[in-house]
Structure 1
Amino acid sequence: MPLVTLRAQVHADPETLAVLKDAMFCATKVYNGLLWHLRKEYEETGKVDISRKNLNRILKELPRAKGYYSMSVQLTRDEVREAYKSFFALKKKSLTQHEAPGFRRKGYLSPLKYVQSGFKVEGDKVTVSLGTGREDGVREVSFRISHRPGVEYERVRELSITYDKVSGRIEARLVVEVKANPCPGRLRAALDLGETILMAAAFEDGTVLLYSGRFIKSVRRYWQKVRASLKQNSRRWKEVAHREKLQVEHLLHAATSHFIEECVRRGVGEVAIGAITGIRENIDYGDRLNQRLHAWPYRKLTDMLKYKGALAGIVVRDDVDERNTSVRCHACGRVLPSNRKHRGLYVCSCGWKAQADVNGSLNIFERAYEVSPVKGSSGRVARPVVLSLHLGWHGVHEPKREEKTSRASL
């Protein structure tokens, strides 16, 4: 069964929320305590022993380890191990200097994680165990949750209690098994993700849909200007940041839901997305544009597509190498950055002319499936249909100046 992560709002009385926050604070103290002892060991011996046996020995010396569920304590221990493993891997791979895992700041509330045990979900009621060693004697707490409607799941596999620093609220993350719909068909599609064009979708029959990201850009710009006049991390600043987050997520949900519905209607069973791994490390377009691209929600967009696709029986993969897909001519294969003229226009000397994001999505399709979505046809890509998404509605229009692109040279 497909696994889907549900984000849920926690509804509890002040006393329960206080207990949960204290347990989350204990998780932070345990994480920092493990790091402190490892650093001390390194200073004394020149080595760092991150074996479970050594970390379990340290845990016995940390009084806060009794402040929350024992299995969750072990997951905190494993977080420290993974942090050090990543540090060692980077240090071995790169000649540049890398810093060891750092302490979590004072007052930080770490997630409480439960896997398979220590929690019970009955409808909208959740009960989590806090262990038997807390000083206040509280062994478990119960609260109610609410999440988006329309999701029916068979079983809850994992549960995390997190603190959203933007809204100042405690939330729950449930990893659930869902019963997926049957696969809608065997056709395929490819997506090129971007900023101005949020998604460029190329279907196997040569149809192309462009989802505009301009309204998301305008929403982000507006709220960034509002925040600029406020004191950072103040109550009002956090309220504004939370409102921006909700509006952006609403637009992302509208775009991804429409795309998945189109895939179901067209009988698409698999969607390929260009891999975004390392995109934030590999871009350098100047300070201003870098800031915009680093803040763009690529991962959130991909995650939405994956879980909505899973519910619809569609496989969504994001493992396609995206290098040079935006500057490679889909007709002749020539890689030339200067072919991207202006405002998304791609023109090659071979005669190929297309909207640049359309060209990129066609290249991703060809690289993912080793076949072109328009080969064997009349050699033409359908005129792209542009969807403009808004907070309350979305409209569809065909660009007046967009001409059908030809593949007569193939």
Structure 2
Amino acid sequence: MPILTIKAKIHSDPKTEAVLKDAMLCATKVYNGLLWHLRKEYEEKGKVKVSRKNLNLILKELPRTRGYYSMSVQLTRDEVIQAYKSFFELRKKGLTKHHAPGFRRKTALSPLKYVQSGFKVQGNKVTLSLGTSRQDGVKSVSFRISHRPHVQYERIRQLSIIYDKISGQLEARLMVEVKTSKNEGSGRVAIDLGETILMACVFDDGTVSLYSGRKIKSIRRYWQKVRANLKQRSRRWFQIAHKERKQVDHLLHIATTHLISECLKKGVKEIAIGDLNGIRENIDYGDSVNQRLHGWPYRKIINMIKYKGELAGMEVRDHIDERNTSRTCHSCGQILVSNRKHRGLYLCSCGWNAHADVNGALNIFEKAFKVSPMKRSSGRVARPVTMSYHLGWHGVTEPNYSASLYAS
């Protein structure tokens, strides 16, 4: 079953909220306490043993472990272990600029995590266990939650209580299992992600859909200029960043929802997406372009396509090797950087010309589904009929002229 995370607003009285915040503060104290003992161990012995057994011994010495649920304490312990594992992996790769995990602020409210036990959800009412050893004698708290309507799920696997710094409110995150729809289709589609062209989607019926990313680019450019005049990481700076993120996420949801609806109309069963892992580490186009590409939310787009596709009964693969797909001619197979004349044109000496992102998406389709190029009677690759879509605040629109773009 696909797993989704549902954001929910918490409605509680001041006393309940105070107890929750105290428990979250205890989680911060436990996290910092574990780090302090590990650092002390390193100073004394020259090495540190990051294991559950060793950290469990340390937990017995920390008084704040009694301030919240015992299983949640163990999840805080696992956060420390994961932080050190990530640090060790980076150090093995020679990335010495990364430092060992640092302390959280004393006033920080760390997430309260519950996995499978310690919580109960009945309708919109949530009850959390806080253990039996709190000094104030509170063993559990109850509150109401509200989330977007029409969300149906089978089982809650994990529940987290977090503090949103922007809104200054507590929120709940429910990781739930959902039922997938039955999909009897057999179609396939390959997707090439980009910045100006957000998604170039090649379907096996010979059509291509292009989703413009210009709206998202303009939003990000505008808010970046606004933030440039603010004090770095100030409260107002974070508020602007939060607003930008919400606007971008809204448009990404519109685009990916429209894509999945088009896939359902065409009977798509399999979706292939180019693998973009490491792209941020392998690019250097100057400060201005690097800033744009490093903020490009490609992983968010992929995650949206994955969970929406899985809900519709589609298989989504996002590890298709993208190496040279933008440089390779889809017709003759020649690999030449200069064939990509400019942002939107791929032109090869063999006579093949197409939108550059369409050319890349066609090559991803071949790699993903192990198919040979579709041939014309003349021996040249057929040009697909391309539909271009523009994003707006209320949906996806199709310009009147787009139906004939790159039509053969």
Where does residue 326 of structure 2 map in the other structure? 326
Q: What secondary structure does 2:189 align onto?
A: strand
Where does residue 382 of structure 1 map in the other structure? 384
Amino acid at match of 1:320: I
Where does residue 396 of structure 1 map in the other structure? 398
CA contact (8 A) 2:187 2:269 kept: yes
- The correspondence of residues 255-404 of structure 1 with structure 2, limited to 5 A, is 255-372=255-372, 374-375=374-375, 379-397=381-399, 398-399=401-402, 402-404=405-407
- The correspondence of residues 213-252 of structure 1 with structure 2, limited to 5 A, is 213-252=213-252
Cα deviation code 1:320-377 (max 9, x no counterpart): 1222222222222222222211122111222221111111111111111111573589
Distance 1:239 1:294 in 2: 20
Q: What is the CA distance between 1:191 and its match in structure 2?
A: 1.0
Distance 1:205 1:120 in 2: 48
Distance 1:95 1:393 in 2: 44
CA contact (8 A) 1:207 1:381 kept: no
CA contact (8 A) 1:167 1:242 kept: no
- The correspondence of residues 74-89 of structure 1 with structure 2, limited to 5 A, is 74-89=74-89
Distance 1:76 1:276 in 2: 31
Distance 1:95 1:161 in 2: 33
| Structure 1 residue ranges (4+ consecutive) displaced by more than 6 angstroms after TM superposition | none
Where does residue 408 of structure 1 map in the other structure? none
Alpha carbons of structure 1 residues 214 and 115: separation in structure 2 relative to 1, 3 Å: same
Q: What is the CA distance between 1:45 and its match in structure 2?
A: 0.8
Q: What is the CA distance between 1:90 and its match in structure 2?
A: 2.9
Alpha carbons of structure 1 residues 357 and 67: separation in structure 2 relative to 1, 3 Å: same
- The correspondence of residues 128-207 of structure 1 with structure 2, limited to 5 A, is 128-207=128-207
CA contact (8 A) 2:4 2:177 kept: yes
Q: What secondary structure does 1:270 align onto?
A: strand
Q: Does 2:8 match 1:8?
A: yes
Amino acid at match of 2:140: E
Distance 2:11 2:317 in 1: 35
Distance 1:112 1:201 in 2: 40
Amino acid at match of 1:181: S
Distance 1:175 1:66 in 2: 26
RMSD: 2.2
Q: Which moved more, 1:8-17 or 1:149-158?
A: 8-17
Distance 2:273 2:308 in 1: 14
Where does residue 21 of structure 1 map in the other structure? 21
* TM-score, length of structure 1 as denominator length: 0.92
Q: What is the CA distance between 1:19 and its match in structure 2?
A: 2.4
Distance 1:113 1:374 in 2: 52
* TM-score, length of structure 2 as denominator length: 0.92
Cα deviation code 1:91-130 (max 9, x no counterpart): 3343755422222344332221111101111112211222
Distance 1:61 1:134 in 2: 16
- Identity across the alignment (%): 68
Distance 2:163 2:255 in 1: 27
Alpha carbons of structure 1 residues 169 and 193: separation in structure 2 relative to 1, 3 Å: farther
Q: What secondary structure does 1:87 align onto?
A: helix
Cα deviation code 1:185-238 (max 9, x no counterpart): 111111111111111111112211011111111122222233333444445444
Distance 2:124 2:91 in 1: 46
Q: What secondary structure does 1:26 align onto?
A: helix
Where does residue 67 of structure 2 map in the other structure? 67
Distance 2:383 2:344 in 1: 16
Distance 1:390 1:58 in 2: 54
Q: What secondary structure does 1:136 align onto?
A: coil
CA contact (8 A) 1:204 1:374 kept: no
Amino acid at match of 2:213: G
Distance 1:99 1:227 in 2: 28
Q: What secondary structure does 1:280 align onto?
A: coil
Distance 2:263 2:76 in 1: 40
CA contact (8 A) 1:184 1:314 kept: no
- The correspondence of residues 105-116 of structure 1 with structure 2, limited to 5 A, is 105-116=105-116
Alpha carbons of structure 1 residues 168 and 374: separation in structure 2 relative to 1, 3 Å: farther
Amino acid at match of 1:312: A
Distance 1:103 1:361 in 2: 45
- The correspondence of residues 21-100 of structure 1 with structure 2, limited to 5 A, is 21-94=21-94, 96=96, 98-100=98-100
CA contact (8 A) 1:210 1:387 kept: yes
Cα deviation code 1:109-163 (max 9, x no counterpart): 2221111101111112211222222222222222222222232111111111222
Distance 1:388 1:373 in 2: 29
Distance 1:319 1:390 in 2: 30
Contiguous gaps of at least 5 residues in structure 2:
none
Distance 1:103 1:265 in 2: 51
Distance 1:366 1:101 in 2: 43
